[in-house]
Amino acid sequence: MDTNKAKAYFWVLLDVLIVGLVLNLVFFVMPAVGRFGASLGSARTISVSAEGKTITTPDIALSSFSVVSRGTDPEALSDANNRKVSAVVEFLKSEGLDVKDIQTTGYNLSPDYRYDDKEQRSYITGYTFTQTVSAKMRDFKKIPKILGGLTPLGVNQIGGITFSVEDPEKFLAIARAEALSKARVKASELAAQAGAKLGKVVNIGEYYASPVPYFAEAYGRGGALASSAPTEPTIEPGTSEIRDQVNVTYELR
């Protein structure tokens, strides 16, 4: 009797163990396998590249202005430069530039040397003091007047003007949308030619090409003009092109 009971208990325990294994397989193992398989992606894919672009009209102009002075007394140079640069900043403000759009980007005092061949050594003969102010101009109609009014204030070096856009992201979004649309059309055509259908997107890569800025010719570069009333330069902002390239991988069904 005890032997029969032991056998009965054994088969009951075996049945319970098998049921447990089956339930574990159904509720835990299979879903995990499914998720792992889904993470591997489809073995049949297609990758395409496409480019989108849009034309932008600049809404800001960036430029820098320097006052360069030379002399033997650093203190006197500093005082003269500071007065000239202060006048430049006040002039920019009077033309409507916001304080946040005016920035000091250079303040440099360096010695000038002369080499003596006889003594075979260098001597300090003086100093060069350079102060640079960068400005962001939003009213393009005022740019010629601003550039024309700088040299009488002592500015003797003006960098070129760079035209740009304040918020390039909104234009980039347009180019990106066009690139993605072209990519899907290209992938659909290739899939159809191969006798397949396009599935979901499994990967996207993007390459944004910065727009080539328009550089205006520098005005007054290298020294102030002799005339007390300099002729205002002609400035044209032009346009620039923003490009966005995408690489998209699709499943094939």
* pLDDT score recorded for residue 6: 67
> For residue 86, what pLDDT band results from cuts at 50, 70 and 90?
very high
Q: What is the largest CA-CA distance in the chain?
A: 127
Beta pairing class for 161-164 and 214-216: antiparallel
137-186 pLDDT, tens per residue? Answer: 999 999 999 999 999 999 999 988 888 888 888 899 999 999 999 999 99
* pLDDT score recorded for residue 37: 55
Written as six digits, the tokens of 208 are 């944004």
**pTM of the full predicted structure?**
0.62
223 contact partners, CB below 8 Å, separation of at least 6: 156
pLDDT > 90: what percent of the chain? 56
CATH number of 60-166+214-235: 3.30.70.2970
Question: What are the boundaries of each domain within the chain?
Answer: 1-40, 45-55+169-210+246-252, 60-166+214-235
